[in-house]
Amino acid sequence: MSSAENDDILTKIRSPDLWIVNSRRRNGLIIHKEFYTEFAGPGAAVGGGLDDDCRGIIPLGSLSLLPSTSPEEQQKALKIRLQWVRLTQNFTDKPAAIDRARMILEQFKSYFDPSIVDQVPDEAFALLVGVLPYTVRRARDLV
């Protein structure tokens, strides 16, 4: 994805408008905040005040952000965003760092093409599950 496309996505998610990651595609967005990182997968809400503090993004798959069209759709998208956060939280509950790194990699590889996952920097996965990038590098050999 080009720098201009990333800037366009950043502008959207920093805006007061709520956007929804297209649920009809295998796509998603890794959102870097100041002290942590979140993943917003298909159906999840982004922007609309949720991501004002976004420092950077990594789009996955053929990212498509759709405008929300109703309060009901917004509520559903917010619930889905929370579900993605909870899924990641399940991995961070594991005491061993290598297990957390392995689990997040397995989860992403089961959903996205492995070539897409291989392009995601170790640092991004590390921030998702609270491990060092070195641990993610080691876990890549196990997955």
* Beta-carbon contacts of residue 63 (< 8 Å; ≥ 6 apart): 1, 9, 21, 22, 25, 27, 28, 29
Over residues 40-53, the pLDDT tens digits come to 999 999 999 999 89
What pLDDT is recorded for position 35? 86
Strand partners, 39: 30
Burial 30-56 (b: 16+ CB within 10 A, else e): bbbeeeebbbbbbbbbbbbebbeebee
Residues of the chain with pLDDT under 70: 1-2
Cα 94 from Cα 103, distance rounded (Å)? 9
Cα 69 from Cα 78, distance rounded (Å)? 13
What pLDDT is recorded for position 7? 84
